[in-house]
């Protein structure tokens, strides 16, 4: 396989950092950028030793990182792009916390729409870019109460976060149609795995189970989700970056759904504690959708992809990361820390 120059926007994010690791494992040259400096290495899989060779994935020869705020320093990013001339750009950057999008909606629209449009208007003029992968979200569809849905553009977003992501997706579709901008969309089900932000449901439940610190379960945890291990997602994302046709959209999901409550019960059982000893029911958050169920048949049939990490093994993998780093994780914030 030919080595590509890959620019990863939002490389500090959970999915972005795992994608960097996947691209490095595949032998590509990678440039990463996020608005903040790199966080602790326990949240950066590309800074971990490779499980096969024991060698660090990222070196000075194959990876370069720059802290660039898309909202404030777009020109710095364009300078980086012109210097590197990447053939592939994969964008994970977004204001991504749903509940807080009600509190500061203008921050979500600024980052997820206005700044993204400015970025794309510059990128469309860079003819060396062969593929632009936009990592978006199933929340643009609203709640999929009718069952597993295929890829389509019938959006019904229910939160400022989801509206901002849908608006950006529609904008990109117009650029693809009018300018042949080589965008490919991915929408993944609920992603999890080692290195995830601690406020997310799986690491948060594991931390509560290990420390006895109580956690709240919104609406009693009766909404349904399909959880997919991050390794299955980034493997698919890299394949799409290399092979997918511009203008296409792909769902990345397992074929199993589980309620949040049942998920947390399984984590508590895995940790050997009683559910009621750490979980407190709380009111439902505003605009929360009942389910996101994505039909991933197209990805499976067109690319021979399948999810390989089942939920039992994936939870064990994540719990191992929590246990290995528990003393350090205890010292870090477990709640979402908003940055404008």
The domain ranges of the chain are: 5-329
Residue 281: predicted pLDDT: 80
| Cα–Cα distance measured from residue 217 to residue 38, given in angstroms and rounded to the nearest whole number | 30
Local confidence band at 332 (pLDDT 50, 70, 90 cut-offs): very high
Mean pLDDT of the chain: 94
Q: Dump pLDDT digits (tens) for 153-180.
A: 789 999 999 999 999 999 999 999 999 9
CATH 3.40.50.720 fits 5-329, yes or no: yes
Q: Is the pLDDT of residue 334 over 80?
A: yes
Least reliable range by pLDDT among 13-17, 55-59, 150-154, 227-231? 150-154
What whole-number percentage of the chain has pLDDT above 90?
84
Q: Dump pLDDT digits (tens) for 296-329.
A: 999 999 999 999 999 999 999 999 999 999 999 9
| Cα–Cα distance measured from residue 332 to residue 22, given in angstroms and rounded to the nearest whole number | 26
User: What is the maximal distance between C-alpha atoms in the chain?
Assistant: 58
**Contact (Cβ atoms closer than 8 angstroms) between residue 263 and residue 227:** yes
Relative to beta strand 215-218, strand 63-67 is unpaired
Q: Is the pLDDT of residue 1 over 80?
A: no
Residues 6+ apart with CB under 8 A from 112: 94, 95, 161, 164, 165, 167, 168
Q: Taking the CA atoms of 177, 180, 181 and 183 in sequence, report the sign of the dihedral they define.
A: positive
CA atoms within 13 A on the CB side of 194: 23
For the chain, the first-to-last Cα distance in angstroms comes to: 40
């Amino acid at each position: 396989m030919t080595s590509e120059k890959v620019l990863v926007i939002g490389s500090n994010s959970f999915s972005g950092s795992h994608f960097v690791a996947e691209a490095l494992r595949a032998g590509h040259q990678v440039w990463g950028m996020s608005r903040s400096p790199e966080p602790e290495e326990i949240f950066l899989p590309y800074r971990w030793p490779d499980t096969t060779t024991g060698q660090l994935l990222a070196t000075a020869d194959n990876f370069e990182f720059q802290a660039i705020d898309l909202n404030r320093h777009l020109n710095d990013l364009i300078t980086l792009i012109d210097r590197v001339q990447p053939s592939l750009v994969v964008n994970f950057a977004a204001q991504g916390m749903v509940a807080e999008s009600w509190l500061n909606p203008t921050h979500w629209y600024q980052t997820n729409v206005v700044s993204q449009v400015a970025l794309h208007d510059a990128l469309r003029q860079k003819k060396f870019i062969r593929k632009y992968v936009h990592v978006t979200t199933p929340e643009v569809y609203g709640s999929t109460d009718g069952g597993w849905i295929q890829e389509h553009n019938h959006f019904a977003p229910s939160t400022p976060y989801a509206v901002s992501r849908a608006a950006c997706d529609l904008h990109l579709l117009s650029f693809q149609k009018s300018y042949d901008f080589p965008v490919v969309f991915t929408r993944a089900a609920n992603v999890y795995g080692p290195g995830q932000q601690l406020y997310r449901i799986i690491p948060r439940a594991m931390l509560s189970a290990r420390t006895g610190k109580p956690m709240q379960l919104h609406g009693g945890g009766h909404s349904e989700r399909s959880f997919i291990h991050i390794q299955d997602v980034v493997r698919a994302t890299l394949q799409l970056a290399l092979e997918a046709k511009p203008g296409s959209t792909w769902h990345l999901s397992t074929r199993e759904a589980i309620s949040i409550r049942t998920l947390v019960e399984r984590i508590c059982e895995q940790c050997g504690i009683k559910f009621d000893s750490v979980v407190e029911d709380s009111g439902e958050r505003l605009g929360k959708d009942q389910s996101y169920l994505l039909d991933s048949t197209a990805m499976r049939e067109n690319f021979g992809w399948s999810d390989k990490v089942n939920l039992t093994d994936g939870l064990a993998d994540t719990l191992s990361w929590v246990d290995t780093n528990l003393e350090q994780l205890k010292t870090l914030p477990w709640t979402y820390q908003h940055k404008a």
